Structure 1
């Protein structure tokens, strides 16, 4: 059985949703027979390369909020993250161009570390203060900590064509599958679940998908 997950490091609901999906998958009886593929989706693909800005100011501008309203929204997400046992920093974070991060996840996938890389980026963005977007040195440190070769990581980041088509292919597939927001979960190209859900919702999703997978294989 195959589950494809579209997400973006900028997206707090992806941070929450992927965490809860993994919790459900950890308890799933057939997790060893379930392949998970992480796919790219840029929330704002028009961001200039290397762009970085204050996350609260970005949210206020994007949604027409006051800065106070945007800050309150961040606090509400932090409360939800706490319920899921996840750290969430509401100040001192940035928002920006995630294209290099998606390329690094594809690079990490070649050695079976795509999820490790993605989760490390989520943690760096939402669980720690400090600039992440546009800071290549921090990206290098994160990737190396996850076991990737430093010279190869630097070579990937220096050449913007590497894995760029893989990112674009993921985004084209998302459009084909009518994905308009993330996180977006697709099971065997048959079942779809979107948004950050509690672990029990993902557990039902996996069970339903497995039943269909088994029935289809038996036909």
Structure 2
């Protein structure tokens, strides 16, 4: 089974969705036969690398709310994250453009370490308060995953791959993330409960395998045998 996930590392619900899927896969008896591929999706391609405003101020501006309302909103997300085992520290988040982070994820795919790098990026951004828009931060994250990212951010390496993912997202109508596609047949949108992922995994697995059936009457190589 293959699961394709469109995600942005600046999206808290993408982090929660990742945890929920992982929890479902831990219970799924065929988890070792599941391949997960992460795809790039920038929530704000026009985002700056550096901001004077903090996370709360930017949210307030974007959604026309007060800073206090923005803090209340993120507090609810923090609670959802805690239930999934995630420590969100929105007070320390450094808003930035995630394009280079997506290029790193594309590089990680070449080394079979996409999931590891996704986790490191989520943790760096949401828990550790690191500036993942800066090349030196991304270089350190790559090194932590055992990947040499030398020169990547001084070039246009993996730009085409990021843009291809985003074009595919647009083509299939993805407007928000996280967005999970199972075997290119079933989609799950958003950080759904673990039970939804469990049900989807089981459904897709059953539909991808022929049903067991008692043998009927057959003729093979000139010999006919009755069924059971």
Confirm or deny a common fold (TM above 0.5). Answer: yes
Q: Does residue 1:155 correspond to 2:151, yes or no? A: yes
The aligned residue for residue 223 of structure 2 is: none
* Partner residue in 2 for 1:122: 122
The structure that is helix-richer by fraction is 1
In structure 2, distance between residues paired with 1:98 and 1:51: 11
Q: Output one character per residue of 1:12-45: Cα deviation in whole Å (capped at 9) or x when no partner.
A: 0001001110111122111121111100000001
**Alignment of structure 1 residues 156-195 onto 2, 5 Å:** 156-159=152-155, 161-195=156-190
| Structure 2: distance between partners of 1:172 and 1:41 | 9
RMSD over aligned Cα atoms: 1.5
Deviation per residue, 1:135-190 (Å, 9 max, x gap): 222221111111112xxx1311111x110010010011111111110000001111
Q: Match of 2:91, SS?
A: coil
Structure 1 unaligned residues grouped into runs of 5+: none
Asked if the contact 2:39–2:165 (Cα under 8 Å) also holds between the matched residues in 1, the reply is yes
Aligned mates of 1:133, 1:10 — CA distance in 2: 9
Q: Distance in 1 between matches of 2:50 and 2:123?
A: 20
The Cα shift of 1:55 comes to: 1.4
- 2:42 corresponds to which residue? 42
In structure 2, the partner of 1:136 is 135
- Is the 1:60–1:67 contact (alpha carbons within 8 Å) kept by the matching residues of 2? yes
Corresponding residue number in structure 1 for 2:108: 108
Partner residue, 2:57: 57
Report which of the two structures shows the higher radius of gyration computed on alpha carbons.
Answer: 2
2:16 touches 2:191 (CA, 8 Å); kept in 1? yes
SS at match of 2:5: strand
CA contact 1:185–1:192 (8 Å) conserved in 2: yes
Shift in Å at residue 51 of structure 1?
Answer: 3.9
Checking the alignment, whether the CA contact within 8 Å between 2:121 and 2:132 is kept in structure 1 is no
Match of 2:207 among 183, 187, 212: 212
For the residue of structure 2 that corresponds to 1:16, the secondary structure is helix
Q: Which consecutive residues of structure 2, in runs of 5 or more, have no partner in the other structure?
A: 212-228
TM-score, scaled to structure 2:
0.88
Displacement of 1:133: 3.6
- The 5 A counterparts of 1:70-85 are 70-85=70-85
Q: State the SS of the aligned residue for 1:78.
A: helix
Aligned to 2:89, what secondary structure does the other structure show?
coil
Shift of 1:215: 4.5
TM-score under structure 1 length normalisation:
0.91
